[in-house]
Chain A
Protein backbone atom coordinates (compact mmCIF):
# COMPACT_ATOMS: atom_id res chain seq x y z
CA UNK A 1 0.00 0.00 0.00
CA UNK A 2 1.20 3.51 -0.72
CA UNK A 3 1.97 5.94 2.10
CA UNK A 4 3.27 9.48 2.56
CA UNK A 5 5.25 10.94 5.46
CA UNK A 6 5.71 14.63 6.13
CA UNK A 7 8.22 14.64 9.00
CA UNK A 8 7.69 18.25 10.02
CA UNK A 9 4.36 19.06 11.64
CA UNK A 10 5.12 22.77 12.00
CA UNK A 11 7.79 24.99 10.44
CA UNK A 12 8.46 28.64 11.17
CA UNK A 13 10.50 30.85 8.85
CA UNK A 14 11.13 34.56 8.51
CA UNK A 15 9.75 36.45 5.57
CA UNK A 16 12.30 36.45 2.77
CA UNK A 17 14.01 33.29 3.95
CA UNK A 18 14.19 30.12 1.88
CA UNK A 19 11.86 27.21 2.55
CA UNK A 20 12.02 23.46 2.17
CA UNK A 21 9.15 21.16 3.18
CA UNK A 22 9.95 17.48 3.29
CA UNK A 23 7.91 14.64 1.84
CA UNK A 24 8.81 10.95 1.75
CA UNK A 25 6.64 8.37 0.04
CA UNK A 26 6.36 4.62 -0.08
CA UNK A 27 5.18 3.06 -3.32
CA UNK A 28 6.16 0.02 -5.37
CA UNK A 29 6.83 1.90 -8.59
CA UNK A 30 7.26 5.46 -9.77
CA UNK A 31 4.30 7.29 -8.31
CA UNK A 32 2.34 10.30 -9.27
CA UNK A 33 3.18 13.05 -6.73
CA UNK A 34 1.39 16.24 -5.79
CA UNK A 35 1.75 19.18 -3.44
CA UNK A 36 -1.35 21.04 -2.27
CA UNK A 37 -1.77 24.13 -0.08
CA UNK A 38 -4.68 24.87 2.26
CA UNK A 39 -5.56 28.18 3.89
CA UNK A 40 -7.60 27.98 7.13
CA UNK A 41 -11.21 26.96 6.54
CA UNK A 42 -10.65 26.50 2.81
CA UNK A 43 -10.24 23.65 0.38
CA UNK A 44 -6.96 22.46 -1.10
CA UNK A 45 -5.27 24.19 -4.03
CA UNK A 46 -2.84 22.33 -6.28
CA UNK A 47 0.68 23.79 -6.23
CA UNK A 48 2.42 21.35 -8.55
CA UNK A 49 2.52 17.76 -9.75
CA UNK A 50 5.03 15.18 -10.94
CA UNK A 51 4.09 12.48 -13.41
CA UNK A 52 7.27 11.68 -15.32
CA UNK A 53 10.22 13.30 -17.08
CA UNK A 54 12.14 16.21 -15.58
CA UNK A 55 12.56 15.57 -11.87
CA UNK A 56 12.46 19.27 -11.00
CA UNK A 57 8.94 20.60 -11.42
CA UNK A 58 7.78 24.18 -11.24
CA UNK A 59 4.48 25.19 -9.73
CA UNK A 60 2.40 28.21 -8.96
CA UNK A 61 3.32 30.99 -6.51
CA UNK A 62 7.06 30.46 -7.08
CA UNK A 63 7.19 26.94 -5.63
CA UNK A 64 9.19 24.06 -7.04
CA UNK A 65 9.71 20.44 -6.03
CA UNK A 66 12.33 17.84 -6.83
CA UNK A 67 11.60 14.13 -7.24
CA UNK A 68 14.45 11.96 -5.97
CA UNK A 69 13.79 8.30 -6.65
CA UNK A 70 16.84 7.10 -4.67
CA UNK A 71 15.56 8.86 -1.55
CA UNK A 72 11.82 8.33 -2.17
CA UNK A 73 11.39 12.04 -1.63
CA UNK A 74 9.52 14.91 -3.21
CA UNK A 75 10.51 18.01 -1.24
CA UNK A 76 8.87 21.37 -1.84
CA UNK A 77 11.04 24.50 -2.01
CA UNK A 78 10.70 28.25 -2.35
CA UNK A 79 13.69 30.62 -2.51
CA UNK A 80 12.03 33.53 -0.68
CA UNK A 81 8.92 33.13 1.45
CA UNK A 82 6.19 35.77 1.59
CA UNK A 83 3.84 36.33 4.53
CA UNK A 84 0.96 35.16 2.32
CA UNK A 85 2.57 31.70 2.07
CA UNK A 86 1.52 30.94 5.65
CA UNK A 87 -0.80 27.93 5.32
CA UNK A 88 -0.84 24.15 5.63
CA UNK A 89 0.89 22.12 2.96
CA UNK A 90 0.05 18.56 1.96
CA UNK A 91 2.04 16.08 -0.08
CA UNK A 92 0.07 13.34 -1.83
CA UNK A 93 0.88 10.20 -3.81
CA UNK A 94 -1.34 8.63 -6.47
CA UNK A 95 -1.42 5.09 -7.76
CA UNK A 96 -0.49 4.32 -11.35
CA UNK A 97 -2.35 1.03 -11.32
CA UNK A 98 -5.69 0.70 -13.00
CA UNK A 99 -8.94 -0.62 -11.65
CA UNK A 100 -10.77 0.86 -8.72
CA UNK A 101 -7.58 2.27 -7.15
CA UNK A 102 -6.93 4.49 -10.16
CA UNK A 103 -7.17 8.14 -9.26
CA UNK A 104 -7.03 7.62 -5.51
CA UNK A 105 -4.63 9.82 -3.58
CA UNK A 106 -2.95 9.17 -0.25
CA UNK A 107 -2.14 12.33 1.69
CA UNK A 108 0.53 13.09 4.23
CA UNK A 109 -0.40 14.56 7.61
CA UNK A 110 0.44 18.08 6.52
CA UNK A 111 3.00 20.72 7.50
CA UNK A 112 1.84 24.01 8.97
CA UNK A 113 3.97 26.94 7.81
CA UNK A 114 4.19 30.06 9.95
CA UNK A 115 5.91 33.13 8.49
CA UNK A 116 7.39 35.76 10.80
CA UNK A 117 7.68 39.35 9.55
Chain B
Protein backbone atom coordinates (compact mmCIF):
# COMPACT_ATOMS: atom_id res chain seq x y z
CA UNK B 1 0.00 0.00 0.00
CA UNK B 2 1.20 3.51 -0.77
CA UNK B 3 1.70 5.85 2.09
CA UNK B 4 3.98 7.85 4.33
CA UNK B 5 6.12 6.19 6.97
CA UNK B 6 7.49 8.16 9.89
CA UNK B 7 10.00 6.68 12.31
CA UNK B 8 10.50 6.30 15.13
CA UNK B 9 7.06 6.71 16.69
CA UNK B 10 8.62 7.92 19.97
CA UNK B 11 11.97 9.65 20.37
CA UNK B 12 13.82 11.06 23.33
CA UNK B 13 16.46 13.76 23.18
CA UNK B 14 19.15 14.60 25.69
CA UNK B 15 20.38 18.14 26.27
CA UNK B 16 22.75 19.32 23.54
CA UNK B 17 21.90 16.44 21.26
CA UNK B 18 20.75 16.53 17.65
CA UNK B 19 18.11 14.01 16.65
CA UNK B 20 16.81 13.06 13.21
CA UNK B 21 13.24 12.13 12.38
CA UNK B 22 12.69 9.97 9.33
CA UNK B 23 9.98 10.43 6.71
CA UNK B 24 9.64 8.17 3.69
CA UNK B 25 6.86 8.15 1.09
CA UNK B 26 6.07 5.80 -1.79
CA UNK B 27 3.28 7.89 -3.29
CA UNK B 28 5.57 9.38 -5.95
CA UNK B 29 4.73 12.86 -4.64
CA UNK B 30 7.02 15.75 -5.50
CA UNK B 31 6.27 17.88 -2.43
CA UNK B 32 6.96 17.01 1.17
CA UNK B 33 6.32 18.95 4.38
CA UNK B 34 7.21 18.92 8.07
CA UNK B 35 4.81 20.24 10.71
CA UNK B 36 5.05 20.68 14.43
CA UNK B 37 1.92 20.16 16.50
CA UNK B 38 1.48 21.51 20.02
CA UNK B 39 -1.78 21.28 22.00
CA UNK B 40 -4.17 24.09 21.07
CA UNK B 41 -1.90 25.50 18.36
CA UNK B 42 -2.84 23.46 15.34
CA UNK B 43 -0.10 22.54 12.86
CA UNK B 44 2.78 24.89 12.18
CA UNK B 45 4.95 24.48 9.10
CA UNK B 46 8.66 23.92 9.74
CA UNK B 47 10.09 23.22 6.28
CA UNK B 48 8.81 22.12 2.91
CA UNK B 49 10.25 20.89 -0.36
CA UNK B 50 8.68 20.89 -3.80
CA UNK B 51 11.51 19.17 -5.61
CA UNK B 52 14.63 17.15 -4.89
CA UNK B 53 17.63 19.18 -3.67
CA UNK B 54 15.48 22.21 -2.90
CA UNK B 55 13.55 23.23 0.21
CA UNK B 56 12.13 26.36 1.85
CA UNK B 57 11.71 27.51 5.42
CA UNK B 58 8.25 27.49 6.86
CA UNK B 59 6.95 29.58 9.73
CA UNK B 60 9.06 28.06 12.53
CA UNK B 61 12.30 26.83 10.92
CA UNK B 62 14.71 28.05 13.62
CA UNK B 63 16.46 25.14 15.35
CA UNK B 64 15.57 22.67 12.60
CA UNK B 65 17.27 21.46 9.42
CA UNK B 66 16.23 19.24 6.52
CA UNK B 67 17.60 17.61 3.41
CA UNK B 68 15.95 16.32 0.24
CA UNK B 69 18.45 14.12 -1.56
CA UNK B 70 15.83 11.66 -2.79
CA UNK B 71 12.25 12.14 -3.89
CA UNK B 72 11.05 9.56 -1.39
CA UNK B 73 12.80 10.90 1.69
CA UNK B 74 12.68 14.14 3.68
CA UNK B 75 14.43 13.75 7.06
CA UNK B 76 14.11 16.42 9.73
CA UNK B 77 16.92 17.14 12.20
CA UNK B 78 16.01 18.79 15.47
CA UNK B 79 19.19 20.53 16.54
CA UNK B 80 20.39 21.52 20.00
CA UNK B 81 19.48 25.11 19.06
CA UNK B 82 15.81 24.20 19.33
CA UNK B 83 15.24 24.92 23.01
CA UNK B 84 11.70 23.60 23.22
CA UNK B 85 11.59 20.53 20.99
CA UNK B 86 8.94 18.57 22.88
CA UNK B 87 6.07 18.19 20.40
CA UNK B 88 4.33 15.88 17.93
CA UNK B 89 5.95 16.05 14.49
CA UNK B 90 4.00 15.27 11.34
CA UNK B 91 5.32 14.69 7.85
CA UNK B 92 3.12 15.12 4.78
CA UNK B 93 3.40 14.86 1.03
CA UNK B 94 1.38 16.00 -1.96
CA UNK B 95 1.29 16.35 -5.71
CA UNK B 96 2.31 19.89 -6.63
CA UNK B 97 -0.54 20.39 -9.03
CA UNK B 98 -3.78 22.30 -8.57
CA UNK B 99 -3.24 22.24 -4.82
CA UNK B 100 -3.89 18.59 -4.26
CA UNK B 101 -4.51 17.60 -0.64
CA UNK B 102 -1.64 16.65 1.60
CA UNK B 103 -1.32 13.10 2.88
CA UNK B 104 0.05 12.60 6.38
CA UNK B 105 2.17 10.09 8.20
CA UNK B 106 1.32 8.89 11.72
CA UNK B 107 3.75 11.22 13.43
CA UNK B 108 6.73 11.11 15.78
CA UNK B 109 6.44 12.24 19.38
CA UNK B 110 9.66 13.85 20.60
CA UNK B 111 10.34 14.32 24.29
CA UNK B 112 13.24 15.65 26.35
CA UNK B 113 15.04 13.38 28.79
Residues of A within 8 A of B (CB): 9, 32, 34, 36, 41-46, 49, 51, 90, 94-96, 100, 102-105, 107-110
Contact = CB atoms under 8 A, between A and B. Distances in A.
Contact of A110 (B42, B50, B99, B102): B42
A102 B43 contact: no
Given A102-B96, A103-B94, A103-B99, A42 B107 contact: yes
Contacts of B104: 36, 43-45
How big is the B interface, by class?
20 to 34
Interface string B61-104: 00000000000000000000000000000101010101111111
A43 B56 CA distance: 23
A105 B99 CA distance: 9
- Chain B binding surface SS class: strand
B50 A102 contact: yes
A59 B77 CA distance: 35
A105 B102 contact: yes
Contacts of B100: 103
Nearest to B107: A43
User: Which one of B4, B31, B99 has the highest number of Cβ atoms from chain A below 10 Å of its Cβ?
Assistant: B99
Nearest to B10: A41
B11 to A, nearest CB: 14
B86 to A, nearest CB: 15
Contacts of A107: 35, 42-44
Given A41-B107, A96-B99, A104 B42 contact: no
Given A94-B99, A102-B99, A103-B96, 9 more contacts: A41-B106, A41-B107, A44-B92, A46-B101, A95-B99, A103-B48, A103-B94, A105-B102, A109-B40
Nearest to B9: A41
B1 to A, nearest CB: 14
Nearest to A109: B42
Contacts of A34: 101
Contact of A103 (B43, B44, B50, B90): B50
A34 B92 CA distance: 14
